[in-house]
Amino acid sequence: MFQHQFLLPARRTRCYSQSLAGIAPNVAQQSTAPVPMRYAYYVRRNTRGSIPVYTELRNTKHMTLIRNVEGDLSVSPWPAPPPRPG
């Protein structure tokens, strides 16, 4: 039986950081550290790592219970709708 062997020419590899070395002198010095966001409330995960959100249906009532919430709950994560004209 015949066996075929293909020999491919070896390629020179170059890291991504090496390709940017000629473009930007030093990107690390130009960038600043990101500012952490502070939210009004925080939902802790439970011991299994999931978010403690529970839903329940009773007749026509749909209830959602969120546990382990810390902070100011009166703050809404969504902006207020614009006032209606009239």
Written in H, E and C, the secondary structure of 33-73 is CCCCCCCCEEECCCCCCCCCEEEEEECCEEEEEECCEEECC
Q: Is residue 35 part of a domain?
A: no
pLDDT in tens, 27-85: 555 667 777 777 788 889 988 999 999 999 988 999 998 898 888 878 777 777 788 88
On whether residue 67 sits in a domain, the answer given is yes
First to last CA, the chain: 89
The pLDDT of residue 54 is 92
Q: Is residue 52 part of a domain?
A: yes
Q: Which residue has the higher pLDDT, 23 or 62?
A: 62
pTM, two decimals, is: 0.42
**Mean pLDDT over residues 8-36, rounded?**
58
Would you say residue 12 lies in a domain? no
**Sign of the alpha-carbon dihedral angle for 69, 73, 79, 81:** positive
**Is the residue at 19 inside a domain?**
no
- The predicted pLDDT at position 10 comes to 53
Domain count, the chain: 1
State the residue range of the domain holding 58: 46-74
